[in-house]
Amino acid sequence: MELFSSDRQSTANSSPLADRMRPRTLDEFVGQDHAIAPGRLLRRAIEADQLSSVIFAGPPGTGKTTLARIIANTTRAHFITINAVLAGIKEIRAAIETAQDRAAKHKQRTILFVDEVHRFNKSQQDALLPWVENGTVILIGATTENPYFEVNKALVSRSRIFQLKPLGDRDLYRIAEQALSDPERGYGKLKVQVEPDALAHLVNVANGDARSLLNALELAVETTSPDRRGVVHITLAVAEESIQQRAVLYDKEGDAHFDTISAFIKSVRGSDPDAALYWLARMVYAGEDPRFILRRLSILASEDVGLADPNAVVVVNACAQAFDRVGMPEGRYHLAQATLYLATAPKSNSLMGFFDALAAVEKEREADVPSHLKDSNRDRQGFGHGAGYLYPHAYREHWVAQQYLPAFLQGQVFYQPSAQGFEGKIQAAVMRRREAQLAAMVSDSQIAPVEILTFSPSARQSQRWLQRTLSQVGEQLASICDRVFELAQPQRHHVILDVNASGGLLVWEALRHAPEGGVYAVVRNEQQAKAIQEQAEKLPHLMRPVTVAATLVELPNKLASIAPNVFFDSIVGRNALANELDKAAVVQQLLQLLQPSGVLVLAETVTRHTQRLYRLFDAARLDAKLYERLAAAEEEIYANPADPMVNWDVEDLRLALKAVGVTVKITLEHYPTQLYVSSDLLNRWFSANAALTKRPAYVEYLSRYLSAPEISLVRAEFERSLLNRTVGWSSTVAFVKAIPC
């Protein structure tokens, strides 16, 4: 029952290259940074040996079993593995008995790894559920299917879900280089030379699957004889023989089926013939049943075209009958004709565009379906599929500028309408829509929401505590907090840095947004750090923020000492720059702590725009010249170039940030509120306190323009007009969003 036994290790040299090169530690693991990069919750849980039940979902070759091996090598818990294809109720019971025995005799936890967990039937999953629920075993499930409809809902609700994505080209190059250079497990002892175009071919056709890449590399090396110098030379021809055709991940009962047909239907409904042909080509190339496609088109002909073109149903039915008579491969013409007819409404005879799209599928690396086009019926809450999709019928003329192609193909043209017949009438409309889509893409006004890659069940106690804590802040602060996170758009797996966490406002909201990531809270001294830590004691240990006591100047070195290699997806802060004289330099330093795709969002009160006290009462109550000097004295507060709180305005900050090479967007929000003027507040305004606060008090500025008797007159007027009254007060906050260029 032990998957990772010593017998397996002893035969490593005879194992396939893909098995030999499996990472043994998290540092060797390549890819999936959203789940296991330094600072992420999963990595911290593995390193601290505090793992709770998890399910790894993703295509083959993305590292699900490898992560389980790494956990097995690092945990102090007893580790059991079973394969759902081969195991049944008997094996589940045996694993539970072992777990109970370990807990009773050795006080040891048990981790149960179930490979291909979706293969368990309902009764088998039900048999496992109570033991996961009561903590007898900690479940690690691995599945290539969507866990939200292939795994028992009760198991899903008690597990954190980590979606593993196909590896990028950079990751695959790193894996190939490791295999070629490792002298023990790879080919480091051999003289292997791989031509750049040969390696590029292997990486491209592997299509994000590390196992496929290593299998092809092994076949190329093992079947190529060394030359006279002992060099194994891998040419493009050898690479092409080793991995001849792209493996397309397409299960007719799984995610790829539902997501791709969803993207296809949305593209046809959205009157985008280019995207419609692309998704049609994806389905045909992957072996989807053409009759299923024609059935969906027949439905769409009535559902989304209807009486706008009564011939739509006639044409689709004629195409379906023609397909039944002709069959494949020539029947692809009829599929393309039905698709183009519905996508453009009038009949189209420009069918060769389909083969342009098919050629793109054959030549280009397979792209994932953009998240907003995926089927939202089953897992919108978990993975965010379908979020951000713009429903065309809700817009004027039943069309909206929206991208339906994958990111790397946006702007690609497959369909070229001719000027013949009815097609000539639609030519202008097609071109106009393409121009609108291109304009939206260039202006960055329409960006598809990112896909949610992790999920965890709601910890009710923690959520209640966070909600209660957040509800105690004022309406204005809550609004500022919401705006910050609206701009930052954090994901559940993100690592977030709050650079001014003394009040805790953004810290607790960050914890709600990133339950599978991590939150670092920067405070100015140990006393503030202790306050945050005491508040966080009600949260589970792994969910608590990491507090860092440092100034912003000290921050990079402090982080390097306590959290090396941690870079942040979002850096947020409220009034973080208030006491920084050179704000641009501090921002530039903070940007170095970001991930390449990270974002810095700050909410900075623009003190220059703060409510003036002299405007709170009627000017006619004072002598005109006295009122004029009062105003001049107060305005001097906001004109001090040596005071970092007032020595800047929005445009100053914008220009300074552009000068350090960042893309910056600053928006102003005005917040009207109410202020109760108490006797304590008046005393604070009219008491000298520079020695305590290191800043001149209001009365000290007045003394530069007014005599002592005049100050007494002003105070008396303040008391008559304002004391024990509520007055209107306005403040202005600049929301700064900076992205590294």
pLDDT for position 463: 59
Domains and CATH numbers, the chain: 31-163 (3.40.50.300), 169-242 (1.10.8.60), 255-442 (1.20.272.10), 458-606 (3.40.50.150)
Q: HSE of 588 in the Cβ direction (CA atoms, 13 Å)? A: 12
pLDDT band with cut points at 50, 70 and 90 for residue 492: confident
Cβ 261 vs Cβ 270: under 8 Å: no
pLDDT category of residue 9 using cuts at 50, 70 and 90: very low
Q: How many helices (H) and strands (E) does the chain have?
A: 33, 15
pLDDT in tens, 238-285: 887 777 655 555 554 555 677 888 889 999 988 899 999 999 988 888
Ranking 157-171, 306-320, 395-409 by mean pLDDT, the lowest is: 395-409
DSSP string, 5-62: -HHHHHTGGGS-HHHHT--SSTTT--S-HHHHSTT-HHHHHHHTT----EEEE--TTS
In SS3 terms, 250-294 reads as CCCCCHHHHHHHHHHHHHHHCCCHHHHHHHHHHHHHHCCCHHHHH
Query: Which pLDDT value is given to residue 499?
Result: 92
Across 479-489, average pLDDT:
89
Position 373 pLDDT exceeds 80:
no
Output the pLDDT for position 13.
Answer: 55
Average pLDDT over residues 430-451: 60
Q: Where residue 722 falls among pLDDT bands split at 50, 70, 90?
A: confident
Q: Each residue of 10-66: pLDDT tens digit?
A: 334 568 888 888 888 888 888 888 888 888 888 888 888 888 888 998 888 788 888
Q: Which two tokens stand for residue 40?
A: 């992420």
Cα gap 717→712, rounded to integer Å: 9
Whole-angstrom distance, CA of residue 268 vs CA of residue 373? 12
Q: How confident is the model at residue 8 (pLDDT cuts 50, 70, 90)?
A: very low
pLDDT computed for residue 286 by the predictor: 73
**pLDDT given for residue 84 in this prediction:** 86
HSE-CB for 295 with a 13 A CA cutoff: 6
Q: Over range 377-389, report the average pLDDT.
A: 66
- Residue 6: the pLDDT is 39
pLDDT tens digits, residue range 143-184? 888 888 788 888 888 888 888 888 888 889 998 998 898 888
- Mean per-residue pLDDT for 68-92? 87
CA atoms lying within 13 Å on the CB side of residue 78: 20
CA geometry: angle 732, 736, 737, nearest 5 deg: 150
pTM over 0.85: no
pLDDT band at 2 (very low <50, low <70, confident <90, very high): very low
Statement: residue 446 has pLDDT above 60: no
Q: Does residue 443 have a pLDDT over 60?
A: no
> What mean pLDDT do residues 680-690 have?
78
Residues in Cβ contact with 83 at an 8 Å cutoff, skipping those fewer than 6 apart: 114, 115, 116
Tell me what pLDDT residue 350 has: 43
- pLDDT class for 444, splitting at 50, 70, 90? very low
* pLDDT for position 639: 82
pLDDT surpasses 70 at 448: no
Question: Residue 451: is its pLDDT beyond 80?
Answer: no
User: Are 682 and 720 spatial neighbours (Cβ–Cβ below 8 Å)?
Assistant: no
77 pLDDT band, cuts 50/70/90, is confident
pLDDT above 60 for 598: yes
